[in-house]
Structure 1
Amino acid sequence: MTHMEEEKKSKTQAKKEMHDLQKLGERLSELSASQIDGMPVPDKLKEALHFVKTIKSHGARSRQMQYIGALMRDVDMEPVQTSLGLIQSGHKIDVAAFLETEKLRDRLLEDNKDALEEVVTRFPEIDRQHLNQLVRNARKESDQNKPPKSKKALFRYLKDFVDNENSIR
């Protein structure tokens, strides 16, 4: 067997690789436009990924996905898979931070002094007076059945500190 024959892939292996590329293309097509633009892929592939989002017909979408798979043959997939993994794991971190912030805000609004002390201890740089004012205003709005303007402001204020803490970790 010569060196050339060793490098030649079997037809089954080539089909499997094309199918895997098409699956990766499906995952890429589910990303938002800004996430697609941030991917390390050629512009032609980015355009194809943006275009597939506009297609409604199942057959046309299938053909476009095959085209995306063909374009991906010429692209080094390792950086693309790494970027995709980071995006997906980053989303999980964002959701966890969101839920944590929501829980902190709700505990503060329950008139819980322990929660206030916990927040001040956890974030020593937080402005205690401003925090108390936001909590007081949010409770007042809730009691008067007003729109939750201060509740949202409290959430954003806490989220800044939680996000900052998560970026340091």
Structure 2
Amino acid sequence: MTETDTEERKSKSQIKREMQALRDLGKRLVALPESSLDKIPMPERLRAAVLAAKGFKREALRRQIQHIGALMREVDADAICRALEGLSRPHREEVQAFHEVEQWRDALIEGDGGLLEELANRFEAADRQQLRQLARNARKEREQNRPPKSARALFRYLSDLRSAE
């Protein structure tokens, strides 16, 4: 055995970790809706195995995921990973935008006048008076322990501004 042979050979533990990663990727594929699966490039045998796994329960599902992992050894798993990331990126961006609008709403309700001016400057369609009124009404509702009707309206107004950007 030469020095290059030992560098190229993988340890048994490394091989097991790689196979577990393929099974985990297979689980992610099984969890996807069928419409999203169509957007991921994969061989027909693998697609059929993933679709079949959707109907299985417990032990049968575990065995099918083992089978999917074995099939994935023959395909380019990196391409499938990239496609999965591409599918989840728009969702992450939507969640990030949602959280940003929530933070704006909460800050306006707390009385952050600087943010109000910043939003009015950032969004040309923003109506300062309406923003102030919605924030003031939401503050009053919170103080009086009433349902957050104005807070919801403020959130909708801010999301509409953001989406029109």
> Is the TM-score greater than 0.5?
yes
Aligned ranges 1:103-122 → 2 under 5 Å: 103-122=103-122
Q: C-alpha separation between the residues in 2 aligned to 1:100 and 1:80?
A: 31
8 A Cα contact 1:141 1:147, kept in partner = yes
Q: C-alpha separation between the residues in 1 aligned to 2:158 and 2:117?
A: 14
Cross-structure match for 1:93: 93
Q: C-alpha separation between the residues in 1 aligned to 2:117 and 2:38?
A: 43
Deviations along 1:50-71, one digit per CA (max 9) or x if unpaired, are 66456442x2221121343456
Cross-structure match for 2:162: 162
Cross-structure match for 1:5: none
What RMSD, in angstroms, separates the aligned Cα atoms of the two structures? 3.6
Change (3 A) 1:129 1:93: same
Aligned ranges 1:10-89 → 2 under 5 Å: 19=19, 21-31=22-32, 35-36=36-37, 38-41=39-42, 49=50, 52=53, 55-57=56-58, 59-69=59-69, 79-89=79-89
Q: C-alpha separation between the residues in 1 aligned to 2:51 and 2:130?
A: 44
Q: C-alpha separation between the residues in 1 aligned to 2:118 and 2:126?
A: 11
Q: C-alpha separation between the residues in 2 aligned to 1:48 and 1:120?
A: 53
Cross-structure match for 2:5: none
Shift of 1:24: 1.9
- Bigger mean CA offset, 34-43 vs 145-154: 34-43
TM-score normalised per structure 2: 0.65
Q: C-alpha separation between the residues in 1 aligned to 2:130 and 2:121?
A: 15
Q: C-alpha separation between the residues in 1 aligned to 2:51 and 2:152?
A: 33
The alignment of Structure 1 onto Structure 2 pairs a total of residues equal to 152
Aligned AA (1:150): S
Cross-structure match for 2:125: 125
Gaps of 5+ in 2: 1-10
Change (3 A) 1:86 1:147: same
Q: C-alpha separation between the residues in 2 aligned to 1:30 and 1:137?
A: 43
Deviations along 1:129-150, one digit per CA (max 9) or x if unpaired, are 4333322332232222122122
TM-score normalised per structure 1: 0.64
- Bigger mean CA offset, 113-122 vs 18-27: 18-27
- Give the % identical residues: 46
Cross-structure match for 2:3: none
Shift of 1:75: 6.3
Gaps of 5+ in 1: 1-11
